[in-house]
Structure 1
């Protein structure tokens, strides 16, 4: 009963009726936000309970800091479980402890670029596109079984021809684009919010060199993390309507 009140209040368009604006601004339960992924999400986060470093220094930190500061009375919880270098198979290995056990209401995932890197470097643990999609789908299915009303926020992976990524650029581009399409496909299957990070970064690069935003072709600068956080909030507020102020 309590969870149904939450869904009705935030106005998530997943088969539940939309509510009026005053209701939509007040979530009826303390939400758990979880950010999962690789180094871009990790952001050099702390590995203990020190609240000064626990969210890292990337887009996940920026999102959590804004929501937490603007809704201090709601009892929201924020977790960052990104781990540098992770591929989809690494997420699979730790999914039970680092995702399901945390019982997220909002699960944000950004993964894929290390899977591309593994293929380019002929790493023995490299996975095919089909396996990437299959594992990703299974992870989301596991979460949906645990919480039928979970909101997925799927980030589109990206790469740019900067630094070492300029070498074998066509391969980097094509392999990444293929995984971008997988993420979009899965977002449709799971009624997820899509955060199109490359679209935002592409637009920013029209006037400013790519190196200003993505210093090595993969990792965002502090400025790009800010753009990512803004886009995350812009897209998620469409489903969690109490975030409309963003």
Structure 2
């Protein structure tokens, strides 16, 4: 007997769509580097999104790709943008970047570099749908040690991400608010074990927030 639970279709997931998740370790999710479909998407929010919608809509032949790399900053994305993004020809591009830049890459490098990547992606595919996840943290472990200045800088990166989302007609996923609100239900380390990397419960929160934001999207293109 097949047990099915209702999953509403996302307009963004048209038949034969290619959905690419790009970013750092949070997206990487310890993904495999081979064609092995058991590990290729990692074990984070990208996997959760792909598993749910791939199972619900097999007839759409959706292709989910993950090119997150642990430790990446926005300049690392730039160095591999052609190979790991443009050449993969995504119909929907989702990016989570910024926490590794914090305290390392100046804001006046982060924003124009990110801006250029989005401009190039849109130029390569004018119909591209963009999803930007704001970088986030909770006061646990490493983030407590880094102090208030580090947190204030991350807040600025969140604002820059929101500004770029507006400029490039991208959906913004408000990750910080999602995790801050979740702390009303359980302690911070329940959701993000070291202040930066989500637990499995935290990845489910990310996946749910991503789907909700994409569901509500009103892309102009």
TM-score, with length taken from structure 1: 0.82
Asked whether 1:134 is paired with 2:112, we answer yes
Q: Which of structure 1's runs of 4+ aligned residues deviate more than 6 A? A: none
Q: Is the 8 A contact 2:138 2:179 kept in 1?
A: no
| 1:42 match | 28
Residues paired across the two proteins, number: 210
Match of 1:30 among 16, 26, 29: 16
Aligned counterparts of 1:77 and 1:168: Cα–Cα separation in 2 = 39
1:145-160 matched pairs, under 5 angstroms: 145-160=123-138
Indicate yes or no: 2:182 matched with 1:196. no
Q: Residues 32 and 78 of structure 1 are in contact (CA less than 8 Å); yes or no, is this contact kept in structure 2? A: yes
Alpha carbons 1:159, 1:172 under 8 Å: kept = no
Q: Kindly provide the CA deviation profile for residues 106-137 of structure 1, in whole angstroms up to 9, marking residues without a partner as x.
A: 00000000001xx2xxxxxx321011000000
* Equivalent residue, structure 2, for 1:95: 81
Q: Secondary structure at the match of 1:152?
A: strand
- List runs of 5+ in structure 1 lacking aligned partners: 1-9, 13-25, 120-125, 242-246
Give, in angstroms, the shift of residue 159 of structure 1: 1.4
* 1:184 matched to 2:162: yes
Q: What's the offset of the Cα at 1:202? A: 0.7
Conserved? CA contact 1:11–1:240, under 8 Å:
no
Q: Which residue in 2 is equivalent to 1:7?
A: none
Residue 164 of structure 1: CA displacement? 2.2
Counterpart position of 1:66: 52
The separation in 2 between residues aligned to 1:217 and 1:36, in whole angstroms, is 21
Q: Which of the pair has more CA radius of gyration? A: 1
TM, length-normalised to structure 2: 0.91
C-alpha distance in structure 2 between counterparts of 1:115 and 1:210, whole Å? 22
Match of 1:228 in 2: 206
Tell me how far 1:167 sits from its aligned partner.
Answer: 1.5
Question: Shift in Å at residue 240 of structure 1?
Answer: 8.1
Alignment of 1:153-168 (within 5 A): 153-168=131-146
- Whether the aligned pair in 2 keeps the contact of 1:33 and 1:106 (CA below 8 Å) is yes
Pick from 94, 102, 121 the counterpart of residue 108 of structure 1: 94
Contact preservation (8 Å) 2:17, 2:61:
yes
The whole-number CA distance in structure 2 between the counterparts of 1:48 and 1:200 is 33
Which shows bigger deviation, 181-190 or 157-166?
A: 157-166
Q: Residues 227-246 of structure 1: matches in 2 within 5 Å? A: 227-239=205-217
Deviations 1:124-169 (A, max 9, x none): xx32101100000000000110100101000010112211221232
| Cα distance in structure 1, aligned partners of 2:161 and 2:182 | 22
In the other structure, the counterpart of 1:211 is 189
Distance change in 2, residues 1:69/1:209 (3 Å): same
Q: CA deviation at 1:11?
A: 6.2
Conserved 8 A contact 1:32-1:105: yes
